[in-house]
């Protein structure tokens, strides 16, 4: 498997993560669980996408390493 293929797979995963996060947000809209999700669970999605703590690694970091 080439690095280009690996990068494409990770990019596909990033798209799926965005979709999954949106599905969970939609499912919880209008419930008391929405605040809990935003406070505790959404962080995992954000971390994978590179939108969390700037010191945490993300899937984008893996792409950058594969590009080198």
| Domain layout of the chain by residue ranges | 3-67
Q: How many CB atoms lie within 10 A of CB 21?
A: 19
Q: Is the pLDDT of residue 62 over 80?
A: yes
Instruction: Tell me 57's DSSP state.
Output: -
Average model confidence (pLDDT) across the chain: 92
Distance separating alpha carbons of residues 48 and 4, to the nearest angstrom: 20
Give pLDDT, residue 21. 96
Q: Which residue has the higher pLDDT, 56 or 38?
A: 38
Q: Is the pLDDT of residue 27 over 90?
A: yes
* Structure tokens given for 60: 């984008």
Mean pLDDT of 37-54: 88
The pTM of this model reads 0.84
């Amino acid at each position: 498997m080439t690095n280009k293929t690996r990068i494409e797979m990770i990019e596909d995963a990033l798209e799926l993560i965005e979709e999954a996060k949106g599905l969970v947000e939609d499912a919880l809209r209008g419930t008391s669980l929405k605040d809990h999700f935003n406070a505790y669970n959404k962080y995992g999605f954000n971390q994978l996408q590179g939108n969390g703590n700037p010191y945490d690694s993300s899937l984008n970091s893996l792409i950058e390493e594969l590009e080198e």
